[in-house]
Amino acid sequence: MLTNWNNRVLYTGVTNNLLRRIQEHQEGKILGFTQKYNVKKLVYFEETDSIHVAIEREKEIKGWIRQKKNILIEEENPQWKDLSEELYE
Instruction: Tell me the three-class secondary structure of 15-71, residue by residue.
Output: CCCHHHHHHHHHCCCCCCHHHHCCCCEECCCCCCCCHHHHHHHHHHHHCCCHHHHHH
Could you tell me the residue range of the domain that residue 25 belongs to? 2-88
| pLDDT score at 34 | 87
Can you give the pLDDT of all 89 residues of the chain as single tens digits?
Answer: 999 988 889 999 999 999 999 999 989 888 899 889 999 999 999 999 999 999 999 999 999 999 999 999 999 999 999 999 887 76
| pLDDT score at 11 | 95
Q: How many domains does the chain have?
A: 1
Beta strands 2-3 and 41-42 are: antiparallel
Give the CATH number of the domain where residue 40 resides.
3.40.1440
